[in-house]
Structure 1
Amino acid sequence: MSFLSFFEKKPHPFTKFCLQASQWSLWIFFFLFPIFFLPWTTDVLEINKQTLFVFFILFSLLFWLGAQIFTKTIYFRYHPVFLLFPLFFLVVLISAIINQTGFLSWVGESLQEYTSVLTVFIGVILFYLILHLAREKYFLKKSFFALFASGIITSFFGICSLLQWQILPFDFAQSITFNTVGTINSLGIFLSFLLVLACGYWATEKKIPRTFLVLSILFSFIVLMLIDFWILWLSVLLGLLGLFLLIFFQAEKLAKNTRRFLLPITVFVLSLFFLVLPSPFQRHFPAEVVPSFGASKEIMQQTWKEYSFLFGSGPGTYVYNYAKFRSNEMNTTPFWDVRFDRSGFHFITLATTLGVLGVGIFVFIFLSFFSLCLKKLRSKETTETSWLAMIFPVWISIVFSSFFYTSNMTLQIIFFLFAGIIGSICVDRTIHHHLKKKRYVHSTAIVLFILVSFGIFVVLFLTGFRYVSEISFAKAVRLERSGASIEEINQKLRKAVFLNQYHDIYYRNLGQGILEEVKEELSLQEKLSEQRGQYLQSLVAAGLNASMRATDLAPENVLNWSVRARIYQQATDIIPEAQSHALSAFEKAWQLEPQNPLYPTEIGKIYFSSAIKKQQDPLKQSTHEEIENDFYQAQMYFEKALALKKDFGQAHYQLVLLFQQQGRIDDAIGKMESLANYHLKDTEIWFQLGLLYLYRNNTEDLDRAQLVFEQTLMLAPTHINALWFLGYVQEQKGNLDSAIKIIERVLELQPENQNVQKKLEQLKQGKITQNQAILLEQEQNLSSSL
């Protein structure tokens, strides 16, 4: 393979150093990015891979530009197709600008780093670097060896996780689904690419590292057998089919050693076998759940209507679109409260977030580079045929996976990398300009190089700051999980906010942390002094400021509005008009996620709480009509929640409480019976239903109460309150022997309880108490468990 160098025959040592530094930056990166993870962040993969991506690619760019400036030579490979990548970046940039989606689109957060403006920008740089550096045969060899070595390690970690061999000391690495790529299926997709590449290398190259390639193929295939996902097998089959067709039509160039085809053919046959029949080695792990094609298509169409048909809703914003436009049918599934951040199909995710232009350019890139490969293969040149025979099958697999699976940082990098390799192999057209012919041009180039270098270091500096802030946020999360004080947690959150003032998640969590501080203060059984009242007001103000900053940074994020509403809810006794602000915030949250029954339930709870306060107001400042209107509004919103999700327990239970408050005990019992039918194994629901029967105390209510208390004990035999009240029922029915046996069981569970001892003595004396029993243990808040 020829290399059109921009160097002189004897390049200056500094020039040689710059080129080698640029190449080594890429080789090290190719080895690291599939296996790279760090335990210091909340997400151990994506943000770390993105940070690695930014640092290594920008350093490689800096050295590559430095080599050209020092030699006073501009060297640029050109083809009209290569403009598609800057155009794709331009669409991503415009989409982020017009939709004003902030940090999520520009940098990426919550596993959306792979589609951000920053990642696409660095990906385009990687494409152009590979385009110019991959003309040397040894560069490609070392690049592939780095990928194969990394793939072997990645496969090894995947095998250990799938077989539950715990070799890493981290808690997150103990899961069967842990790997260094992403989801289990994304690991399989990545390894299917390497498997096809290794088979192509084995079949077409003269000198091959046999042991190295066999290990890569073997380990990758073992992982695919353990996962056994049809998309993985099709990815391998399509790639190998492309390889075989190339070898068939280019037999005079490629089919020099037919024995080399035995291994790829074996892999092809086995892949076809496992596509048709289940793998006997398949491991059972949690299935990856993603929106279906039909649901994704509907969300895409609704997004185009609401936002821009051409530019979509902005990079990384699929989670917002899903929340706003998902079908109500999801409320009948266990995933009714899950906000999916991507479609199950990468091209639909792009179409939704980047519009027709974004996905159109993306598809055109695939087709154009496919065409470049075919054109090169039809030419009479034979120098690059073997390399193209390796790369072209992988490109087929990449195209297939982009249409039938989703993406992440690792797969996104693979896309830019192999596009650059194809461009380098297929295109020879170059711009080769000597700057020393015109002095002012060289001076201008030096100034531009200084400016670009400054920009690179600014990006690196900001990326470092962002990473340090993420570490501080992760420390806050770990402190919360370990049960640390809320003051310690908020200290770390404040540091994260200080280091990165554009990340809405940090502000939202800080608002939640301050809300917990307010709850702790209000839970103290102390008189609210003037000084303590001022402190509470300052806490509430700080929490509100944090939550408002979060909604300002990401106004489309429903979670930000929910936290803001809850802070206002907590401040109703401290800040005037807090209730109306809480209602407005929950209304906004409901607008952003109209199929979620949680928000109308929360609005109803605010009206319900307001009605109770007005009822209990000693000054009687509210009229009867105002109180009844609040009750009516509360009931209306609870019923709206049930219209969205008929088995939503919180709304059912709030209606039970509302009916009780209004004295509508029959309605309360009817609603609790409905709730019990939806939650057959919830002991607290059955127990509360029994209490309602006792409270109503109709003719057959003792029998009904007995049945539900017995049902509670079938689910939880040591439920102390259910035993206690079942004993009370038997006492009221005159079954003293049964009552004594039941209370004796209660006494075994609570031998020091004087009330139980006293009750047992009364029963043994034949005394029956008419007063209703009281709870022995405080029950958990039922609404919080639903």
Structure 2
Amino acid sequence: MSFFANVRRIFSFSSLSFFFVLLTLFCIPLFYLPFLRSTWDLPKEVLLYTSLSIIFVLTLFEIVKTKKIQQKRTVLDKPFFLLLVAGFFSTMLSKNISLSFWGLGDTFVLHFFALFLFVAWAWILIQKIESEKLFRRAVFVFLLSGVFASLFFLSFEFFNLFGTQVFNPVAKLNSVFGIYIVTLFTLSLGTLVSKTKNNMALVLLSLVCAVLTLISIFRLDFQILWGLLAFGMALLFLLAMAFWGAVRKSVLACTFVLFLFSLSHLLLPNILSFGRALPSEINLNREMSQTIVETVLQNSTKNFLLGSGPGTFVYDFSLFRPIELNQNSYFWSLRFDAPWSSLYAWVCEFGFFGTVSFLLILLLVFGSVLSAVLHIRSTVWKRVRFAFEKISAGDSSLEYFVFMIGWILLTVGICIAIYNFALWFVWWTLLAFVVLGLSYIQPSLVKEHEKNFEISPQYIFVVSFFFLLLSAATVVGGVMWGKIILAESLVFEGQKENSRALPLLNEALQLRPNSSEYLLLISQNLFTQSLSLASTNPNRSAELLSSAIEFARRARELDPSNVRVFDLLSAAYLQTLPYTNEVSLQQSLVYATDAVIRAIQLEPTNPIFHAELGLIQEFSHQFDQAQKSYEASIALKSDYSQAYFDLARLYEKQNNIDMAIRTYEQYRVVDSGNSDVLYELGRLYYNRKHEGDDKKAEKLWIGAVQIDPSSSNALYSLGLLYERRGENILAKQYLQRVKALNPDNKDLDKKLNKL
């Protein structure tokens, strides 16, 4: 073959397409952008979109050049199509179509566009990997990417070479990264177990990958990872035992030792510990996730069949938020974007049709392997059984079944963790590898079809149309993703620099004017500024508050099911009441009431909204309704101090001091360490002046000072109490402590001089 013929072969459209396949395999796990809110996921999604666009364009050029279409058809083609159809209808009927289609900006939730990219990627892999030689190249690049990911993590762990808080390039959560690492280790060890005559480069790479990933597992040291590792080693050991003639016995022995060690680590986690403290990961627990998912599916026929919509679990969480969460002192006010695992998210968001389509993919893949093992007699599977018999005799195809084990591990991971973009990408990649591997064992599992075209006006028209369509889609998509990346970088910069946050957020909004998320961020920023200026510059504070409400209203129009919008609106309307004149007061109260009632409808178990409704009703002199709202808030969260304060204040306003005292005493049963409650309760006893009340007040105020030595109110009250008793020395001591805390208070100087 001449030099120019070699050049034409190397730089053919087919070769270029495969090059971009390899480049994508290598880069997706490693690519991240630290100047975005979604540091790990959004960059990978943009990269996958870009790569697929280039591959499709090159494929179209190849079709034009060769005048033929070559396509591989597999048993998964129809389930892929059904899955996309189910996902599309779930998206179109979602609570938030934009969110279901594009996802969130600050964190990854599985959305329709990402699902489309994953399915397209798996299909492209099956089409572009045309031989076992190319398959091994793809495996080499895939493992090489894992080596670099492990090196990144270990360099941060031991040397902190990059000087950032990015622990790894794959995922924000180290537990998710750990699942990726366990899968890579299993694949590497499986490659070493097989006696396949691979080139030395792949063997050495597998060895390096196995060593680095095993060290990473020890450093991560999550129980969930040891469980997965034990499961993976067990599967690998069983596979090797079934095909005894095709394995390296020394590596098999290592597999068995690792299986025993993983089990020991699971049983004795405190004795066998090798990792270090990593950042805490806060997730919704399994019980609450299951409760929410079941409630969502039972809520309506649409939810059961199509789910609530991809990526919309955050809405379901608010609507069906378990009341038990209110008893958690640390995380009760958090809103979770995702449930305990991706399985719960999938069932909740995609419903019956989406789940059945997904399960169909799983069943067909498992059936492709298990039917041969179980000796099911059908034309295709019978041939696969013979392939198994050939493997057990020492055939080189054992390595392909290793990818089945890796894919099974990731499938199990779907049930116990919430996946990010990279892990879903790896899952779909291994799915394609499994299909390709089985096809090399039994070629009839993948059918190749070829269609030739003749030069004709119809051919030219069709090719031109698809070329223009694909080019336009690529350009439009590129511009759109460019705007998203730029806007997200501006938002990230604004969150880092508070002084420049507002202008940067406005720039981001100009790039994405229909983003309810950006409108809400601007509204929150304006509201925060308004609160900070409320005492020093009330006029400017009122202007900022008005602007905050305007942006929140715009967000409400775009996203009427988002409880955060109404949370902000209700708080902002409450803040406007002191600035409102009597003419427009009633209208402001109506706006505030509507906002907080809508918030309660969207998140009925949140005690904050019930307390805010009570404030509005109290301001409207609807005292009975206000009392009921405060009591409802306390019923939802028995230690919600603000509701107790509001209810006690309401009783005091009605001169019902005894009920106010009773309210604070009820709270003391729940939380006896709140210095503000002790002060307020002491004040009520002191002002009531029943027999023994001053001693009760004294005891309470002393308790408040012991809890909070800087409590000026309690210290000052003790000074007044002792002054009234004539114990001037004690009174002076407490007032001097108040003076130390408030050196500019002239009234204290007069009081001290008098004493």
Quickly name the TM-score band, shorter chain normalised. 0.7 to 0.9
Judge which range, 425-434 or 644-653, deviates more.
425-434
Judge which range, 89-98 or 154-163, deviates more.
154-163
The letter for the 1-side match of 2:602 is: L
| Counterparts in 2 of 1:750 and 1:639: CA distance versus 1, 3 Å | closer
Residue 302 of structure 1 is matched in structure 2 by: 295
The letter for the 2-side match of 1:689 is: L
One of 631, 635, 642 as aligned partner of 1:643: 635
**CA contact under 8 A between 1:435 and 1:441: conserved in structure 2?**
yes
| Counterparts in 2 of 1:536 and 1:756: CA distance versus 1, 3 Å | closer
1:547 aligns with 2:552: yes
1:160 deviates by 5.8
**CA contact under 8 A between 1:103 and 1:109: conserved in structure 2?**
no
| Counterparts in 2 of 1:13 and 1:397: CA distance versus 1, 3 Å | same
Residue 780 of structure 1 is matched in structure 2 by: none
**CA contact under 8 A between 2:522 and 2:548: conserved in structure 1?**
yes
Residue 197 of structure 1 is matched in structure 2 by: 187
1:699 aligns with 2:694: no
1:190 deviates by 0.9
* Pairs within 5 Å for 1:323-402: 323-334=318-329, 335-374=331-370, 375=372, 378-380=385-387, 385-402=397-414
Q: Find the residue that maps to 1:296 and give its secondary structure.
A: helix
| Counterparts in 2 of 1:642 and 1:716: CA distance versus 1, 3 Å | closer
* Pairs within 5 Å for 1:225-624: 225-252=218-245, 254-255=246-247, 257-278=248-269, 279-285=272-278, 288-307=281-300, 308=302, 309-334=304-329, 335-374=331-370, 375=372, 378-380=385-387, 385-425=397-437, 426=439, 427-436=445-454, 440-441=458-459, 443-480=461-498, 484=499, 488-516=500-528, 523=535, 542-572=547-577, 573=580, 577-611=587-621
| Counterparts in 2 of 1:665 and 1:736: CA distance versus 1, 3 Å | same
The letter for the 2-side match of 1:304 is: L
One of 669, 682, 694 as aligned partner of 2:661: 669
**CA contact under 8 A between 1:669 and 1:693: conserved in structure 2?**
yes
What per-residue deviation string (whole Å, max 9, x for no partner) do you get for residues 19-48 of structure 1? 333223232332232233222122322222
1:117 aligns with 2:112: yes
The letter for the 1-side match of 2:13 is: C
User: Over aligned residue pairs, what C-alpha RMSD do you find?
Assistant: 3.0
Residue 378 of structure 2 is matched in structure 1 by: none
1:414 deviates by 0.9
Partners of 2:490 and 2:514 in 1: how far apart? 15
What per-residue deviation string (whole Å, max 9, x for no partner) do you get for residues 603-645 of structure 1? 111122233xxxxxxxxxxxxxxxxxx1122111111111211
1:536 deviates by 6.0
TM-score, with structure 2 as normaliser = 0.88
1:155 deviates by 3.0
> Which segments of 5 or more consecutive residues in structure 2 lack a partner in the other structure?
373-380, 440-444
TM-score, with structure 1 as normaliser = 0.84
Residue 719 of structure 1 is matched in structure 2 by: 711
Q: Find the residue that maps to 1:713 and give its secondary structure.
A: helix
Q: Find the residue that maps to 2:638 and give its secondary structure.
A: coil
Partners of 2:546 and 2:695 in 1: how far apart? 53
| Counterparts in 2 of 1:99 and 1:744: CA distance versus 1, 3 Å | closer
Query: Percent of counterpart pairs with the same letter?
Result: 23
Q: Find the residue that maps to 1:80 and give its secondary structure.
A: coil
1:64 aligns with 2:59: yes
> Which segments of 5 or more consecutive residues in structure 1 lack a partner in the other structure?
1-8, 612-629, 764-786
| Counterparts in 2 of 1:743 and 1:292: CA distance versus 1, 3 Å | closer
1:70 deviates by 2.2
**CA contact under 8 A between 2:171 and 2:422: conserved in structure 1?**
yes
1:397 deviates by 0.7
Q: Find the residue that maps to 1:76 and give its secondary structure.
A: strand
Residue 32 of structure 1 is matched in structure 2 by: 27
Partners of 1:513 and 1:756 in 2: how far apart? 38
**CA contact under 8 A between 1:373 and 1:422: conserved in structure 2?**
no
Aligned length: 717
Residue 183 of structure 1 is matched in structure 2 by: 173
| Counterparts in 2 of 1:720 and 1:113: CA distance versus 1, 3 Å | closer
| Counterparts in 2 of 1:67 and 1:130: CA distance versus 1, 3 Å | same
Q: Runs ≥4 in structure 1, deviation > 6 angstroms?
A: 9-12, 381-384
What per-residue deviation string (whole Å, max 9, x for no partner) do you get for residues 482-535 of structure 1? xx2xxx433222222221133221111222334445556765557x7xxx9xx9
1:99 aligns with 2:99: no
The letter for the 1-side match of 2:211 is: L
| Counterparts in 2 of 1:119 and 1:265: CA distance versus 1, 3 Å | same
